[in-house]
Amino acid sequence: MRSTNGYDVYKRLKMTKNFEAFGVGLNAPAYSDNKWVSPFNWWPEVRRQMHTADKIRLHDVTLRDGEQTARIAFTPEEKLYIAQELDKLGVASIESGLPATPEDIEVIKTLSSMSLKAKIVPLVRIMESDVKAAIDAKADGMLLEFGINPHIMKYVYKKDPKSLVQEIKEYAKEAKRNGMYVEFMGWDAFRCDDVGFLQDFFTDLADSEDIDRITVADTFGMGHPLATYEFMRRLIQWTKKPTGFHIHNDYGMAAANSLMAVSAGADTVHTSVNGLGERAGNVATEEMALIFQHLLELDAGIQLDKLKMVSDLVAEVSKAKLAKNKPVVGDGLFEVESGIVVHALESLKGTPLEDAILPFQPSTVGHEPFQVVFGRGTGMHSVRKLLKSRNISASDEQVAELQHRIKAAGLIFKNGLPRAMIDNLILEITKN
C-alpha cells in the first residue's frame, strides 16, 4: 500500500471538500486533515454535559509513578534524558521523583536549573524534610500528597484530618514564600464512603490561597466513569480551584475516566508514557494527548508527532516492552493482514477517502507508514496487489494457488511471512 502522511491526505481532502455519499456528507470537526472519528462526539446532547477548561495540562508522572512500577528503575542520567524529551513533547509539568533520595534530589536540582518550558514539580510528603529538600533544589513547584481516605489516614498514618489540613496549609505557605507552584493530591479518595468527610476536608483545604490546584487520585482505578464525572463536578464546586485528576488502570478505565474528569471541568491529568505506573499503570500520556486533540479539540500543547519516539525511548530505557496493539504507539497498529480489510482499503483507492479510513494517520503520531503483512489472513486482493507491485502477471489459478500457499505458510510463520519466503512462493507458483 502506498505510504502517506497527514499532509497528503489534507491536500487531497481539501480538493474534494464537501464530498458526500448517498446524501451524507463528511464534515469537520469529526472529519479533518488527519482524522476521521465519530460525529456523535459533537452531538449537542453530548457537548451540553461537557464543561471543559479552555486549555488542558498534562502533568507527566513517568519519572515518579512510572518508576514505581515493580522492576523498573531509571538512572539519574536516564531521568534527565527522558525529561528533556518530555519537555520537547510539550507536557506542562514533570513529576521528577521524590526529594527523598540523593539521586532524585540531584535530578530535581539539575532539571530545575535547566530552564525547561515544563515545570519541575516533585512529589512531596507532608514532612519537613521533603518540603525543605524541594525548596533547596529550587524546584518550580511541589505536589504535596496524602491519602485522603479516612481508613488509610487512621490506620496507616495515624493522622487526624483537621491537623493534617493545617500542616498542608503551613507547608503550602512555606512553598509559596519561596515562589513555588503548589498542588495538593489526595490519593485513594475514591474509596471513601462518607462524602461529608471529603467535602469538609477539601473545602477546608481550598480555603488556603497558597494552594494553586487540588488533585484527587482514583488510586485503584475503580470509579465508574459517571461516578468520576460526578465526584469531579462536586470537587470543583467545593474548592472553586483548578482541579487535577490522577488514575491507575486496574479496571482498564483510566483513559475513559480521565476524559470524564476533564468533561466535568478538571484542567490537568496526570499521565505516564506507555502507561507505566504501579500495577496496571497510570493513564498513558500518548492516549490522553491524542484523545484531547482529536476528540475534544482541546489544546494540551502536545507535539503529537513526537509521541511514538518518546514512547520508544521510554520502552527502551525502562526495558518494558510494549504490546504490539498498544493504543497510539504500538508497533503493529498500522499493519493489516486480513483480506477483507485490505480489499476495503484497495477499493477506496482513487476515491476521496483514500487512506482516510483509519481513525488517524500513522504520521500524526510519528509512526511508520501503513503496510500490508502476508500470512494466514491474506485474501485474493492482497495477492493480486502483491503481484502487480512486482509487475508479475498470473492466471486466476496461479493467484489462488499463491494465496493458498501464503495462508498455509502463515500458520507456521505467525509473525507475518518473511520477504524471502514470499519471494520463494511467487517463484514456485509462476515458474511453469
Ligand X SMILES: CC(=O)SCCNC(=O)CCNC(=O)[C@H](O)C(C)(C)COP(=O)(O)OP(=O)(O)OC[C@H]1O[C@@H](n2cnc3c(N)ncnc32)[C@H](O)[C@@H]1OP(=O)(O)O
Q: Does 145 bind ligand AKG (CB under 6 A)?
A: yes
Three-state secondary-structure class, residue 15: helix
Q: How far is the CB of 219 from ligand AKG (least distance, A)?
A: 3
Quote the CA–CA distance of 251 and 65 in Å, as a whole number: 18
Q: Which of 134, 164, 217, 284 binds ligand AKG (CB under 6 A)?
A: 217
Give the residue with the Cβ less far from ligand X, 126 or 399: 126
Q: Which of 59, 246, 308, 381 binds ligand AKG (CB under 6 A)?
A: 246
In one letter, which amino acid is 139?
A
Q: How far is the CB of 207 from ligand AKG (least distance, A)?
A: 21
Binding track, positions 73-102, relative to ligand X; x by CB under 6 A: -------------------------x-xx-
Number of residues that bind ligand AKG (CB under 6 A): 9
Q: Does 279 bind ligand X (CB under 6 A)?
A: no
Task: Identify which of 253, 244, 351, 330 has the alpha carbon closest to the alpha carbon of residue 286.
Answer: 330
Q: Does 187 bind ligand AKG (CB under 6 A)?
A: yes
Question: In terms of DSSP H, where are the helices of 276-392?
Answer: 285-295, 307-318, 339-347, 380-389
Q: How far is the CB of 185 from ligand AKG (least distance, A)?
A: 5
CB proximity list for 388: less than 8 A, separation 6 or greater: none
Quote the CA–CA distance of 31 and 12 in Å, as a whole number: 13
Residue 267 interacts with, from ligand X, ligand AKG, none (CB under 5-8 Å by kind): none
Question: In terms of DSSP H, where are the helices of 161-221?
Answer: 161-177, 195-206
- The label of the residue with cell 479518595 reads 189
Q: Which helix (H) or strand (E) holds 409?
A: helix 396-412
Phi, psi angle pair for 265, to nearest 5° = 125, 0
Q: Which of 50, 53, 126, 298 binds ligand X (CB under 6 A)?
A: 126
Task: Identify which of 308, 311, 258, 306 has the alpha carbon closest to the alpha carbon of residue 282.
Answer: 258
Identify residues 55-74 at the interface with ligand X (CB under 6 A): 68
Give the residue with the Cβ less far from ligand AKG, 108 or 372: 108
Number of residues that bind ligand X (CB under 6 A): 11
Binding track, positions 360-389, relative to ligand X; x by CB under 6 A: ------------------------------
Separation in Å, CA 374 to CA 296, 340, 370, 386, 401: 36, 13, 14, 10, 14
Q: Which of 59, 119, 248, 405 binds ligand AKG (CB under 6 A)?
A: 248
Quote the CA–CA distance of 118 and 80 in Å, as a whole number: 13
Residue 98 interacts with, from ligand X, ligand AKG, none (CB under 5-8 Å by kind): ligand X
Q: Does 125 bind ligand X (CB under 6 A)?
A: yes
Give strand ranges (E) for 188-339.
Answer: 213-218, 243-247, 268-271, 335-336
Three-state secondary-structure class, residue 300: coil
Q: Which of 74, 146, 292, 334 binds ligand X (CB under 6 A)?
A: 146
Give the residue with the Cβ less far from ligand AKG, 126 or 373: 126
What sign results for the dihedral spanned by CA atoms 396, 397, 398, 402?
A: positive
Give the residue with the Cβ less far from ligand AKG, 281 or 362: 281
Q: Does 187 bind ligand X (CB under 6 A)?
A: yes
Cell of 356: 482516510
Identify residues 42-71 at the interface with ligand AKG (CB under 6 A): 65
Which parts of this chain interact with ligand AKG (CB under 6 A)?
Answer: 65, 123, 145, 185, 187, 217, 219, 246, 248
Which parts of this chain interact with ligand X (CB under 6 A)?
Answer: 68, 98, 100-101, 125-127, 145-146, 157, 187
